Structure 1
């Protein structure tokens, strides 16, 4: 017996599974079946799905537990798997995250054991939902969803494939990444080809979100109007999600009064909406109140949203609530509270950042453990001679790996020492240069003033001595006046400053420095960048440094710095901080 229609919750506001229509006749029929046949697995699955669609998680869990008892009694592992999935999803959406994770792990283990690809697609999607809603780990959510999508493609599970695409598009929206538009539109087109109202709705909502993110509000309105029509015709669950999007688009268009009405509609849907939708409705409403200088009312709404977020264990949008709460207090000149909530906002964001840093390593470990376990299972089926041969091969490979890893570590350590050495040399050179410049200035103050540059070099011909003197003057104004910081600097401008012409200027720079004009200017820019980055107390952002030094793009700055120094500006700054800590 295969799972017929177990789909995933579209993350953060789209209802779970197929369209959640009001079906009292069908519902009564299934309840009647249960009264006559309490162990009827199909009727129990229908009831779990129906109440999950309607947001009645208590009844979903009740029938899922009955299903588990029936599965144990009849020794039906597939029915047991369904019970785990339904319980996990209902527990997740009702804020019982720990027991939900336990049931998700049980469902993953059992679905893998049964080799049931249909249920495995649903489990992968549910794990993606958990990662996004509970852990606010969007990267991991995407990984789970891709697993489900690949499996659905391999088995031609069109409906599950389409819904997973909708999930994926929603995660891309949360990451503010417009690349998700292709997944949303594919979901939308598949819905029309299958004539499935819910999948069309899913694709339309996510397409609207993507176009909203791309600032194409007219296109977004076209899709959201279609989604609203389908939602009302079919009584889809979590209508607050759609109303929030209406509010967002209208807010962005400056139609605050209309946007406010949609946020109010979303807030009325508390019992039948997902937590993230209700939280966002509070956020959207509060933003409009802030526009109207009603900060006290906005603060009340934001705190209500935060309370709901914690009560239902859903961290999505929580950081935005804290950020806007801090802004409200700042606008009221209550700076103590503004700072308090801003710190909480930063902690929320830093938490997400730290998760991003650890993610790749965790995935590599998981993959390694899985592959190692598979190898052990395969080895157990081989005879003694094959085992010995495999052990010898593995030992040889392990030795190679150890050698390679050792070599890589040695090269890394050597490169790190080289980087630190470069930084030390630069810092020492900067100190010496600073001291020399100080002494030169002392000597110059006591020396007679030189002849005006413009008078001296107005002549059309230059002797070697004059060329050298002109180059020294150029070097001086480069270092003292730092004219290289002008990102529109040209040979004509510099020639005018020196009282000569561009042809002589180019010739002198080439003769004295063996560089073109552009390379000559960039040399000073890179030297100044090294000076700035060598100071451990300098926290100026790299983009700001790039602009200040006259570079037209940060990529040009990065490429020239790495070409000159041997490492990127960010690597250089990290090594400076590392040296600082050692001292």
Structure 2
């Protein structure tokens, strides 16, 4: 019977192992087929039916693997999301954490694809993960970053920025330099979008410096590019030049090819046309462009800044010839062309120089040539600003040539464009004003929280210091108490030994001494052997200190054991000292002072108390022998 049971058990184990291996093989084959099957296909759905026949833990593993596949198509992302939801009821708690993290990644991708409610659902999931689960620090940072991104998508900036400031503080504490740079970069980028350059520039500078100090070249290049563009857009041209020269212009051009163009504009704006021309030429050599119309116009601008008409015309004619050749090629293909906008600032500036030199005929030709560009419809703010300048120049020319009606028309047109620019700026400022005010309040709150935290830390440090000092004080008091107790124990032991010696000498008189008697004898021995009574300043307090005891207890011992108070007891020592020397021939007043009496009255009073005689009566009854 026992053998049969063993056989059946062995058979069951064998069948179980066989089934398990078979399921593993099926799961492996399904994984391989699913990896090469598009997620949006009938074949995939068919394979998915086979997955549902597997044990739950294998289903979870396969569904999670599918959900982790890279993809950007909305339908595929939505299907991955559905598969994750399908796997959740089958998953263990540990697997659920992993699945929910992947689901959060999908919400971010769907939000990037502008899928309705994806950001809102993702934010809810972030809140759930933060409350219901514990994660490693890296996963917590990942969740916070995704949450910040989703909040930004929903326009919840008052919640978006605090997360990045929180991440920045945590990454600084953890000394994660690359993450700190990324945080600074993100916050600065947000401020630059709002047009708050005062806050953006210092953050970009810090990020760039950290990247340089830690030899993180890719991050340094990215921060440098954005910092330079921010300087350029805010018209801080000298800063652009200084930063670029500090790094090395040619090395900057490797990752920022537009640097030559930016530098040429910066040098032109600060009235250094030679340097501007140098970088334009360098740009031409580096790019080796076939169509150099814009470049030639820009070089012409540098000569205009020097009032060099001849050189200006050389490059302007080159640009015009290239334009004409380009136009002919397009016309052969029946493509209509118009004069490019970038001719406007150059031609209008040259026309103004002709006007200043008195050549009104040439000036008129140039203004008429680009007049259509002055009134060309455009939505680009920088082009509108160029039109305003050109119209102002042309109007000035018309006034100088007494074409007053046209001058007024041009001014009216210029003012209408200026109104468009002003309106656009106002709309932009109004759009960002609320966000900027909210951010200012937020930064103020964060700074106040930081101050409160520092104050709390200081209070904790002060409190901790007080506790340490208190413990040290109690330790010192306890140490003094132990030392006194130890000395007292030594004194008691010495008295006991003395008592034992006396007992050995006269055992019939031996009696156990009390604590008070021991202290009294110790005090008596100390005062007598050390002749402490000769000191006029001796007191109960000073003797108690010498004996390491309490004055009240010492006074009680003296009263009990001698039947006298401290002053009587100490004066008896002095009288004994004086009686030994009363026949020495010295005056009694001198002897009394040597014995420690503070006054003659005290001497006479204590002498009579102890001997029942006055000093003279004592001398008569005890003459010298």
Q: Give the shorter-chain TM-score range.
A: 0.3 to 0.5
TM-score normalised according to structure 2 size:
0.35
Report the structure number with the largest CA radius of gyration: 2
Structure showing greater relative contact order (alpha-carbon pairs closer than 8 Å, 6 or more residues apart): 1
